[in-house]
Amino acid sequence: MTELTELVGSWMRRQRWYSTKAFEPRLRLLGSFELEPAPESTDDGSRIVTHFFCDDAPRTPRVYQVPLVARARRDGDPAGFVGEAGGRYLYDGPVEEAYVAALAALMTGAGAADGEHARAGGHTLGERIPVLSSRRLSAEQSNTSIVAELGDRLALVKVFRVVQDGENPDISTLAALTAGGSERTPALLGWLTGAWPAPDGTQANGELALMQDFVPGAEDGWELAVSAAEAGEDFTERAIALGAGTAELHRLLAGVLPTKRAEPEDVRAALDGMFQRLTITTTEVPEVETLRGPIASVYEAAAGGPLPVLQRIHGDLHLGQVLHSPERGWQFIDFEGEPLRPLAERALPDATMRDVAGMLRSFDYVAGSLARREPPVDAVAWAADARRAYLEGYASVAGDVLDEYAGLLAAFELDKAVYEITYEARHRPSWIPIPRAAVERLLRDAAGIAH
């Protein structure tokens, strides 16, 4: 398998989903399983094999799922061509309709696939759904998304590229919401779990892919907000609806997944995380050190306030995680949680104010990004109006929870802005003024709450 490993390593380095681009991949094959062609597909003799490769280049080894279609002739989509190995021409699975159809058949047919040191099993909330055609979306990040035609409707198939041991909340959350009749999220149609050797030789079990309804005619929330702010268009009605939708989502999640009253140890853990991020930021951006005292006071005040009920939340909520549909209104997507948090932590019950804080920061970033245009666009007032309207909408459903946990919301939003300073320092230093200004504004607001 040396030839295959070297070929995939060279190809993987050029993919957007390869997560450690500062390194040259050092791969070893852990296992693989083969998919049977879907009944509706034409069998042209191609083999559909999913491989699990461990990349030992980063400090913490990562496991990648690499589905490949091996053809006898070089007649596949050139965009997915990986290379030639063993007398076969290899293509990236998500680009190949044969792979997508086979994957959908396995998921929605609740089938199973066994292989060399790896296996997979499909799960569904309905019945098997045949795929007529498919196309990979170009805007991939850590996962690969595919639009599949099902006849009279479309579905979104998401293939997880980096796979981890444990529950992926993108599936468990969406499965619970779908079973509970949620109208705020696309319906989950099927998903794939798998087992493969972990880098340390133990067995890992986790999710590999999902299939959900595709929301037709929907607009990306970030693009919608930026366009409105750039044109000076009023966004308050949509922001109110988004706030109400967020509160409805939280209510739905509390009804279908476990909740718990926060304990002192939960508060200590949250506080420790905030101070760790603050220390990282003040170390990497020393000028923030002058604000450490006031920031710490906000954190400690929140820790001494009322203890919230903890529940499943979105976990990484911002304008890029919502869609606006003319028929369905605001739809919430991508429940994987904060990418930098370990997978085991992302499904833990958390405070709903963390989601609210994330969306408030997103409105602020709309104004910040437009201020960096040439010529710059002043959307500060637009963002302030959108933030107020979002909170108004949230309160219309959730009641006085925003007043009760005002200190907690302030701490979460401040924590998010502090983290953003570190992020911008590492990736876009010229953008540091956006979160830095937010930190100063939030400290002024917190001082007003305290008095």
- Are the C-beta atoms of residues 90 and 82 closer than 8 Å to each other? yes
**108 falls in which pLDDT band (50, 70, 90)?**
very high
Cis peptide before 376 (omega within 30 of 0): no
Of the candidates 213, 238, 267, which is a domain's last residue? 213
Helix, strand, coil % over all residues of the chain, rounded to 5: 45, 25, 30
Mean pLDDT, residues 296-315 taken together = 96
Q: What is the pLDDT of residue 72?
A: 92
Among 8, 17, 21, which Cα is nearest to 67's? Answer: 8
pLDDT in tens, 167-197: 999 999 999 999 999 999 999 999 999 999 9
For residue 444, count other CB atoms closer than 10 A to its CB.
10
User: Are 140 and 259 in a shared domain?
Assistant: no
pLDDT in tens, 35-45: 999 988 877 88
Count of domains for the chain: 2
User: Are 297 and 170 in a shared domain?
Assistant: no
Q: What is the pLDDT of residue 447?
A: 78
User: Are 68 and 45 in a shared domain?
Assistant: yes
Mean pLDDT, residues 311-340 taken together = 94
pLDDT score of 73 more than 80: yes
Q: What is the pLDDT of residue 140?
A: 59
Mean pLDDT, residues 231-258 taken together = 98
User: Are 135 and 197 in a shared domain?
Assistant: yes
User: Are 232 and 319 in a shared domain?
Assistant: yes
pLDDT score of 372 more than 60: yes
Mean pLDDT, residues 325-337 taken together = 94
Q: How many residues does the chain have?
A: 451
How many helices (DSSP H) and strands (DSSP E) are in the chain?
Answer: 13, 18
User: Are 195 and 246 in a shared domain?
Assistant: no
Of the candidates 184, 213, 242, which is a domain's last residue? 213
Residues near 257 by beta carbon (within 8 Å), at least 6 away in sequence:
173, 176, 311, 312
Q: Give the tokens for residue 369.
A: 């990004």
Mean pLDDT, residues 72-99 taken together = 93
d(C-alpha 189, C-alpha 187), whole Å: 6
User: Are 198 and 310 in a shared domain?
Assistant: no
Mean pLDDT, residues 227-250 taken together = 98
Mean pLDDT, residues 403-416 taken together = 96
- Are the C-beta atoms of residues 210 and 190 closer than 8 Å to each other? yes
pLDDT in tens, 47-62: 999 999 999 999 999 9
Mean pLDDT, residues 408-433 taken together = 95
User: Are 261 and 366 in a shared domain?
Assistant: yes
User: Are 201 and 226 in a shared domain?
Assistant: no
**Would you give the end-to-end CA distance of the chain in angstroms?**
68
User: Are 160 and 229 in a shared domain?
Assistant: no
378 three-state secondary structure: coil
pLDDT in tens, 110-162: 999 999 999 999 999 888 989 999 999 876 577 999 999 998 899 999 999 99
DSSP lists the bridge partners of residue 66 as: 51
Question: Which residue did the predictor score with more confidence, 280 or 139?
Answer: 280
d(C-alpha 103, C-alpha 352), whole Å: 35
Chain mean pLDDT for the chain: 94
Of the candidates 169, 198, 213, which is a domain's last residue? 213
pLDDT in tens, 96-105: 999 999 999 9
Q: What is the pLDDT of residue 247?
A: 98
pLDDT score of 221 more than 90: yes
Q: What is the pLDDT of residue 45?
A: 84
pLDDT score of 450 more than 80: no
d(C-alpha 181, C-alpha 256), whole Å: 10
d(C-alpha 177, C-alpha 185), whole Å: 8
Check the CA dihedral 321-327-328-329 and report its sign: positive
Residue 24 is part of which domain span?
Answer: 2-213
User: Are 252 and 194 in a shared domain?
Assistant: no
User: Are 252 and 152 in a shared domain?
Assistant: no
**71 falls in which pLDDT band (50, 70, 90)?**
very high
